[in-house]
Amino acid sequence: MSGATVRATGIVTVVLAGLLASAYVLGRSLVPEQHTTTTGVASSTAGPHYADQPPSTEFPAAPGRALPDTSPDADPSAPDGGDDGPGPFGARTATGSARVALTFDDGPDPQWTPQVLALLSQYGVKATFCVVGENVESHPDLLRSIVAEGHTVCNHSWRHDVNLGKRSPETIRADLLRTNDAILAAAPDAHIAYYRQPGGAWTASVVSVCTELGLTPLHWNVDPSDWKAPGATTIEATVRTQTGPGAIVLMHDAGGDRSGTVAALQRLLPELLSRFELEPLPVDAP
């Protein structure tokens, strides 16, 4: 083989290799990225990840919470001296009794909500689920399961819009009504008594619309920040140490990787049941 032929063959080989590499890169760019959760289950970035939308800093923050009184003279049946009063713009932050309410936001989610429901059923606990309208529309069967198992349903906006309270009253009203309609389409017997503003970003406008629609603004007074996925140990420690009589505990069953929340809940339920009565928030809210 002549030198010219060898050189020509080499050039053709290099060109073909470059074309194949370009085709591979193009093909990879067209495939949706997959993320593996700590449970080993792949989840697509196409799903709603509300953990990417943290609480707004432009609104009044949730009030601070005092730790429960654990002194020997403390009355275990009395409220713990934390946030028993109204929260931002009068939103509800306590159950109004010695009982404790567990609340789960951002679902329903096909991976995490069934796991939370299974744990609650295992321990005979009823809770409150603050559901996002678009997720209800996508997973009506899960909303039906929530209602059928005796849990309370709370409106959590159509698309988890942290800035919903800044919009016009007409826009807020349309958003909440659209979410209510999705809930009732999935479970006509559902009683929707509460609304929780995404990010806790309450405004006078959104509370006014809640009142008009007969919805009680629902806040919280125990927040383990599980939306940041800090790990089961951190979530468990925060809930265990900060929960006292009358607490409303905020956790999440959707919006991101909730494996830590599920693991923490598995350890928390028997411990909380040994200290408190756990209740779903009543559907005949004042």
The set of catalytic residues is 105, 252
How many other CB atoms are found less than 10 A from the CB of residue 181? 14
**Crossing angle (nearest 10°) for helices 169-186 and 140-148:** 70
